[in-house]
């Protein structure tokens, strides 16, 4: 739930609760005041009757009843209560407040019964409740609108900060331009975020430069070691054990050279603007790489089927597109088994490779990470799919890897903003 929605909901719940409690309190207060006023009217009427009544009995139904009685009951106090009396005109029961008192009038005991209709009181309470309810609803609506607009304005810098952080990239050299509003907490947040991102960029740049420099510096000694091993393996006086040792060294130096080149390539891909873009025929690149891999597939007894349809040119670096296609096809070939299959489809906006092979030992979602392998292949350095992911990220391509039903499926969707018209 969004912060503004949470604040607004809690505000409405609190406001409605307060209004309900206030309404109940007002109802009780008004009802008490009206009851007190009616009781005072009845007592005042009784006082006037005692002072001015000439004697005898009097009935003005249902409001006044004065009757002579034989005697006044002992310990009898005045009594106030509500009672129902049938209204013959309205054909319904009506509520009255009844006041009963025993008094000596002209030296004779009398029972005085006085009544006042409570209909006006009920009408007054309902009118008050309706008016108060309407006023409360309008007040709540006005407060809701004001609160929503006010909080939206107050949180506007916060949401703009979120938008910038969502688009933040360590690869970009453009500094964050966070807007500081009038809220101290938001100012402090922006200050911390600016310092954090600046420090992260600095550390990222340092690590990236180290990786590039280390890769460049390793190229020369690796080339020298490789050439020395070439010379050593050509000697005629080597025994079989020495040849095996030199061959193992040669293979590992080859893997190290491949690893060094892959790390250097990853570092270069992460540098914006390093590779010049051009319009690339993706379908032609797929056909070319398929033709190149067919002899290896035939040697491994792997059946390759393809469906290559015309595709719109893609604005990207040709070498990176070649690496992307080659890595995916090589991966499908390398991790296949004898007698397996590879199916390649290229359509207007997608490139799909399906191949048989052993199930991955870990989740497919992590195989795009560096140094992650789908099996225990000795000749794999675990960077092929990482390079693919970096190229797709650079050109805003979507890439997905799924394993289901014994088939590995990698899909590249060429729907990014770098697609040429």
pLDDT for res 361: 72
Place of tokens 């050439």: 227
175, part of any domain: no
Quote the number of domains for the chain.
3
Q: Which of 135, 164, 195 is the last residue of a domain?
A: 135
CB within 8 A of 221, min separation 6: which ones?
none
Contact 96, 85 (CB under 8 A): yes
46 & 125 share domain:
yes
pTM metric for this prediction: 0.48
Closest-CA residue to 49 (of 127, 104, 87, 1)? 104
Q: Encoding tokens for residue 360?
A: 């991955």
Asked if 303 and 378 sit in the same domain, the reply is: yes
Q: What is the pLDDT of residue 61?
A: 78
396 in the same domain as 294: yes
**The domain that contains 189 carries what CATH number?**
1.10.287.130
Nearest Cα to Cα of residue 69 among 102, 110, 35, 27 = 110
Confidence at residue 417, expressed as pLDDT on a 0 to 100 scale: 43
Query: Which of 269, 291, 320 is the last residue in one of the domains?
Result: 269
- In a shared domain, residues 15 and 77: yes
pLDDT means per 10 residues, the chain with 421 residues, are 70 80 81 84 84 75 82 83 77 83 82 82 77 82 80 80 80 73 80 84 74 71 80 78 80 73 69 73 90 90 91 85 89 88 90 89 68 55 77 87 89 67 44
Nearest to 334 by CA among 367, 375, 370: 375
Alpha-carbon distance of 293 to 342, in angstroms, equals 11
If asked whether residues 322 and 340 sit together in one domain, one would say yes
Residue 328 maps to a domain: yes
Burial class (CB in 10 A: 0-12, 13-18, 19+), 89: exposed
DSSP code of residue 200: H
The pLDDT of residue 376 is 45
- Specify whether 290 is located in the same domain as 344: yes
Distance CA 390, CA 322 (A): 14
Among 119, 135, 151, identify where a domain stops: 135
User: Can you read off the two tokens belonging to residue 77?
Assistant: 């106090």
By residue range, what is the domain housing residue 228?
184-269
Task: Tell me what pLDDT residue 355 has.
Answer: 93
Q: Which two tokens stand for residue 75?
A: 């310990």
């Amino acid at each position: 739930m969004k912060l503004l929605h949470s604040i607004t909901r809690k505000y409405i719940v609190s406001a409605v609760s307060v209004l309900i409690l206030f309404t109940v309190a007002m109802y009780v207060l008004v009802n008490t005041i009206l009851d007190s006023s009616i009781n005072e009217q009845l007592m005042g009427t009784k006082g006037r009757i005692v002072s001015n009544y000439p004697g005898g009995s009097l009935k003005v139904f249902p409001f006044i009843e004065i009757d002579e009685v034989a005697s006044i009951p002992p310990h009898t106090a005045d009594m106030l209560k509500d009672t129902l009396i049938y209204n013959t005109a309205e054909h319904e029961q009506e509520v009255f407040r009844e006041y009963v008192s025993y008094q000596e009038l002209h030296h004779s005991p009398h029972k005085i019964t006085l009544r006042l209709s409570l209909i006006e009181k009920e009408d007054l309470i309902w009118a008050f409740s309706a008016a108060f309810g309407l006023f409360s609803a309008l007040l709540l609506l006005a407060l809701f609108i004001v609160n929503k607009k006010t909080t939206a304005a107050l949180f506007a810098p916060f949401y703009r900060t979120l938008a910038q952080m969502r688009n933040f990239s360590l690869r970009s050299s453009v500094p964050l331009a966070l807007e500081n509003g009038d809220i101290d907490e938001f100012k402090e947040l922006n200050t911390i975020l600016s310092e954090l991102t600046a420090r992260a960029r600095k550390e990222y740049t340092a690590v990236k430069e180290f990786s590039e420099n280390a890769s460049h510096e390793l190229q020369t000694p690796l080339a020298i070691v490789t050439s020395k091993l070439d010379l050593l393996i050509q000697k005629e006086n080597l025994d079989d054990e020495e040849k095996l040792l030199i061959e193992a060294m040669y293979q590992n130096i080859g893997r190290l050279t491949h690893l060094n080149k892959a790390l250097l390539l990853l570092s270069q891909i992460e540098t914006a603007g390093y590779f010049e873009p051009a319009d690339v025929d993706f379908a032609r690149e797929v056909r070319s790489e398929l033709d190149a891999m067919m002899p290896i597939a035939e040697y491994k007894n792997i059946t390759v089927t393809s469906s290559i349809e015309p595709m719109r040119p893609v604005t990207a670096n040709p070498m990176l597109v070649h690496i992307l296609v080659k890595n995916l096809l090589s991966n499908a070939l390398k991790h296949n088994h004898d007698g397996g299959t590879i199916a390649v489809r290229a359509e207007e906006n997608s490139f799909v490779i399906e191949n048989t092979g052993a199930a991955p030992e870990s989740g497919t979602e992590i195989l795009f990470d560096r140094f992650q392998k789908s099996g225990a292949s000795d000749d794999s350095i675990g960077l092929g799919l990482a390079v693919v992911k970096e190229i797709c990220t650079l050109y805003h391509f979507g890439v997905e890897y799924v394993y289901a039903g014994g088939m590995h499926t990698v899909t590249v969707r060429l729907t990014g903003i770098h697609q040429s018209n």
